[in-house]
Amino acid sequence: MTEHARQRVPPFMKQLMAVSGVMLYMVGTGANIAYPGVLLQQLRQPDSVLKLNEEHESWIASILGLALIVGILVAPFSLQKLGRRLTNQLSTLPTMGGWALMVAARGPTALLISRTLQGFGMGLQAAAAPVSIAEYSAPKHRGAFLATIAFSFALGMLVAHTLGTLLFWRSAGIAIGSFYVMSLILITLSPETPPYLASVGKFDECRKAFRWFRGYNPASEKELEILLNSQKQQKNEIKVTRYRHYRTVILKPEFYKPTLIMMFMFVLFQVSGMTVVPSYTVPMMKEVTGGAIEDYTSMLMVDILRFATAVLSCFVVNRLNRRTVLFSGVIMTIVSLLLTALLLYLRDLDYIPEEYKWIPVIPTLAYIFGKTLGILPIPWTIAGEVFPLAYRSLGSGVTGLILSLMFFVVVKTAPTSFREIGINGTFCVYAFCTGVCGSFLYFLLPETKGKTLYEIECHFKGIECEMTKVDGTESDKMLELVKVEVDKDDGE
């Protein structure tokens, strides 16, 4: 078999297929977060056969955060022992079960159980998604592929709100649940990630999977050999220091530095209102517009802007430095939140004429644009890049726990915050918290764009990277090596 025949399907398309399985899951995750925005609106109607009180409503919106914690706690074990592929497959099962129960629910208890199942699956996937996508991807595509997490979130929110506007909530639930079925199919068709196979000593399988995803070329072969050699060395070191290894992990800069960065990243993600807005879009926009725009119209306006911005972010993240995108989004978010709060305050004091009471909508949409462009994609992009392979499962679990806790706290307290200090006061709190997290990240976050995962690992270890440019005679030698490996594989 010739090298050309082996690459009949371009490596990019194979990477895209594998990433698409995770993307479809994240579409479902975005829909899970946004679904209460339409579910609760429909259940408040006088003819609804399923009645909820205010406490039920806040728990239905926020219980995902508590369930996420359980999934996140299981995720490190699952990612390390079962692998990325099987973890992704297993994460679809509770979410599909949750949506099935949601569709059949006859009371608040069933709704809460269904949301708990969805949250557990989301917890597994929250840790697995950035790791899996980063390990599927070539360095030149990694930024764009990781940015698809943000795109998928935004698409899921748009899908949930659109379906919930057009369909009965049970019918909308069936449609959303189908995304997990498609996700499971694509994940099953994709191989395990090469870095995971290398980390567990399956080096021959790693070579096959790596070449399935990346094809045959000198640069990728160089990266493959460095991956294999680094993991062989790592395994030898772990055998020597097996009992002391886990006690010393927390003190290693390649673990605690990325962990600290991701903690601030995920706190920033939540305190910027990332999950509050889709969960409470209708009441929030009703206050912002002053009733000048119909509720569902304003909700879909926010969703369409968020989706369009998420599409734009896929290109921006792949072309601009990660730091540039993140801090541009942080600045836009803070300025827009404070300006919206100021205009709402002035409107309450009757300084804004009645015909212009919709004016706060403008900075609010700028806020949606800023946080979706920078604060939504970058944390997930960085999450897939900064942890060394040896600690990737553990690091993703620890930082995912922070994400889950903040999800629950921010979403659960939002109705009380809206009621006690108003939308304008809540926006001021979010702006302050966003500024604090952004300030810490300004000094902590390195630039990762265009670097291999091994190069990023070397940065945090403080050592010189072995990756060198392959050219000239070295390229010829590498091509000869590839041909030998190809012939060997053909013989087998």
Instruction: Please tell me which residue, 165 or 438, carries the higher pLDDT value.
Output: 438
Out of 241-250, 280-289, 355-364, give the one with best mean pLDDT: 355-364
Question: What's the mean per-residue pLDDT of the chain?
Answer: 84
**What average pLDDT does range 453-465 have in this prediction?**
80
Instruction: Please tell me which residue, 2 or 169, carries the higher pLDDT value.
Output: 169
Judged by average pLDDT, the poorest of 90-94, 161-165, 272-276, 483-487 is 483-487
Q: What is the pLDDT of residues 304-325, one digit of tens each?
A: 999 899 889 888 888 889 999 9
Give yes or no for residue 481 having a pLDDT over 50.
no
Long-range contacts, 317-322 (Cβ 8 Å, 24+): 317/143, 317/144, 317/146, 317/147, 317/377, 317/378, 317/381, 318/141, 318/143, 318/144, 318/147, 320/449, 321/447, 321/449, 322/143, 322/378, 322/381, 322/382, 322/445, 322/447, 322/448, 322/449
Q: Which residue has the tokens 């009441």?
A: 283
Domains by residue range for the chain, with CATH: 11-203+229-461 (1.20.1250.20)
Contact yes or no for 101/60 (Cβ under 8 A)? no
d(CA 17, CA 128): 16
Nearest of 294, 298, 302, 315 to residue 273 by alpha carbon: 302
Q: Which residue has the tokens 């995920």?
A: 266
pLDDT number for residue 237: 53
- pLDDT band at 7, cuts 50/70/90? low
pLDDT number for residue 472: 39
Q: What is the pLDDT of residues 327-358, one digit of tens each?
A: 999 999 999 999 999 999 999 888 888 888 88
Q: What is the pTM of this model?
A: 0.75
Instruction: Please tell me which residue, 447 or 237, carries the higher pLDDT value.
Output: 447
pLDDT number for residue 403: 84
Nearest of 353, 352, 333 to residue 343 by alpha carbon: 352
Give yes or no for residue 70 having a pLDDT over 60.
yes
Residues 6+ apart with CB under 8 A from 283: 418
**What average pLDDT does range 243-252 have in this prediction?**
67
pLDDT number for residue 240: 45
> Can you list the alpha helix ranges (DSSP code H) found in 137-252?
139-166, 169-189, 194-199, 203-214, 218-240, 242-249
Tell me how far CA of residue 456 lies from CA of 210, 273, 451, in angstroms: 19, 30, 6
CB-count exposure of residue 413 (10 Å: 0-12, 13-18, 19+): middle
Contact yes or no for 314/144 (Cβ under 8 A)? yes
Q: What is the pLDDT of residues 349-402, one digit of tens each?
A: 888 888 888 899 999 999 999 999 999 889 888 888 888 877 777 788 888 888
State which amino acid sits at residue 48.
S
pLDDT number for residue 214: 86
3-state helix, strand, coil in the chain (%, to 5): 85, 0, 15
